[in-house]
Structure 1
């Protein structure tokens, strides 16, 4: 009998330890750093499909959307109104946020803050009526093959098809934002999103764009059309600061496909 009680007690203790470990991991993920795996190419070449990073959730404070329990998407902060312990994001930050309607996590670059006027003219970004400095920086090259678990195809400059396994190029530029932040952007082809209306960012909202400008569904596109539109400040999850490692294969766990040049790479 004693040995049976001892075994049952051991099982209970194990269950408790697993429960507490999961609780601690959930709290860590909800309030401090959230893991994020890049699923699409909208932020190339800043972020590549298969990049694994941690999102700093302390950067902008917390809302009901930014402190969710993993997997079940239940918030630790369901009764929080607005944001608490909030800090203002900066233009140029790479931000993870909830899509305004689907509530799916997106990652884009912050381009416009409340009151800013944003417009694309002939592929050049204008903020508050001023064209941003944009300098050619050669080409971004990658192998033409299906990428990531979604097996996403790659697009090459001018939409010129190349054979599977061949080199695919995109024009690369360095764009300088009004606050001096420099970052890389890519150009594939002239398309309607290179010329837009003037977007005036509403109060408590932000305007986001992908660095892979011709392959990004972002704030240039309305929510009704599947885009992001303006994202309310409560939807901010956190700031992406550094790539931990990167997998070029179908799975995060295919370690033989990890990219050796992206370990602990700073996101700029």
Structure 2
């Protein structure tokens, strides 16, 4: 009799343990899908703002929720959003690729009804060239994560006076209608994406581009070339990039906790990913 009671108690303990695990997993999935999730930057397409090896926090609620909000691509594709609110031009967003369902991260350039055009690499929105200011060359130390795999930026690797390998990047600061200001990389003429459009963004769609303008598979690039194939449906947006939580240089080893500290890039943690907005431009809108 005592053995039967012990077996029943053990069975109850295991049942409670399994229920607790299920509840924890559902809670994590709910937070991951509805509130926020981590995101890893695997390429240089958003340079200089984001670097290969950056870890971000992506919030799920600023634009409402859609099938793309559900983590791990578990939800079937459906039209529309719950409590949908359009992004602002200049927001950095994570999206499900409309064809492959792979996660991409790009910047919102065009809203529904906008006419988007590029001529010689210069962006034109609604018939007006945006403000562009050439900046001093940006020097970034080369590490195991930078430039990223298959990067277009290897041509800008130089050896510094101290012998260290550096990326010397040509930067252009852009200001969109609405005042969002951010830096882009312009590698010069001769790239297929330098001339595009004009194209009008359909209703419930967004035009997205990477900050590494000549090295980004975005709305200017056909799906066959891993691009987005034009404006992206609003419901494909999964969330907004908020902040860099930390960044690694590619030397960390999961089995060596000391390498986790040595591999951290200084100065990246806590970087706010909301673009500053020029008030003068906002007031003219």
After superposition, residues 27-46 of structure 1 pair within 5 angstroms as 27-46=30-49
Tell me the equivalent position of 1:97: 95
- What does the per-residue CA deviation read over 1:148-168, in whole Å, with 9 as the maximum and x for residues that have no partner? 7x7444615xx3564796212
Shift of 1:35: 1.6
Q: 1:113 aligns with which of 111, 114, 117?
A: 111
For 1:161 and 1:263, locate their aligned partners in 2 and report how far apart those are by CA, in whole Å. 24
Shift of the 239–160 alpha-carbon distance from structure 1 to 2, 3 Å rule, reads: closer
Q: CA separation of 1:153/1:165 partners in 2, compared to 1, >3 Å: closer, same or farther?
A: farther
Q: Distance in 1 between matches of 2:137 and 2:102?
A: 31
Q: 2:211 matched to 1:211?
A: yes
**3-state SS of paired residue (2:138):** strand
CA distance in structure 1 between the partners assigned to 2:219 and 2:126 by the alignment: 16
Show the counterpart of 1:220: 220
Cα distance, 1:3 vs structure 2: 3.7
Distance in 2 (alpha carbons) for counterparts of 1:194 and 1:184: 17
Paired residue for 1:26, among 26, 29, 46?
29
Tell me the distance in 1 between the aligned counterparts of 2:19 and 2:89: 45
CA contact (8 A) 2:107 2:210 kept: yes
Q: Which residue of 2 aligns with 1:246?
A: 247
Q: Which of residues 265, 270, 273 in structure 2 aligns to 1:264?
A: 270
- The answer (yes or no) to whether the contact 2:56–2:244 under 8 Å persists in 1 is yes
What CA distance in whole angstroms lies between the structure 2 residues aligned with 1:36 and 1:161?
A: 27
Aligned residue pair count: 261
- CA gap of 1:110–1:30, structure 2 versus 1, over 3 A, is same
Structure 1 residue runs without a partner (length 5+):
none
Distance apart, 1:139 and its partner CA:
1.7
Give, in whole Å, the separation in 2 of the partners of 1:81 and 1:181: 29
The equivalences for 1:152-171 within 5 A come to 152-153=150-151, 155-156=153-154, 159=155, 162=158, 166-171=165-170
Largest Rg, 1 or 2: 2
Looking at secondary structure, tell me which structure has more helix per residue.
Answer: 2
Query: TM-score, with normalisation over the residues of structure 2?
Result: 0.83
* 2:86 paired residue number: 88
**What SS does the aligned partner of 2:183 have?**
strand
Cα-Cα RMSD: 2.4
1:191-235 Cα deviation digits (max 9, x unpaired): 231122312211211100000111101111122443112100110
- Structure 2: segments with no counterpart, 5+ residues: 255-259, 276-285
Does 2:140 match 1:134?
no
Change (3 A) 1:23 1:153: same
Would you say the 8 A contact 1:146–1:153 is kept in 2? no
Compute the displacement of 1:147 (Å): 2.1
Aligned-residue offset at 1:30: 0.9
Task: List per-residue Cα deviations over 1:128-180 (Å, max 9, x = no partner).
Answer: 111111112212223345527x7444615xx3564796212111121111111
In structure 2, the CA distance between the partners of 1:200 and 1:28, relative to structure 1 (3 Å rule), is same
| Contact 1:145–1:153, Cα closer than 8 Å, also in 2 | no
8 A Cα contact 1:54 1:244, kept in partner: yes
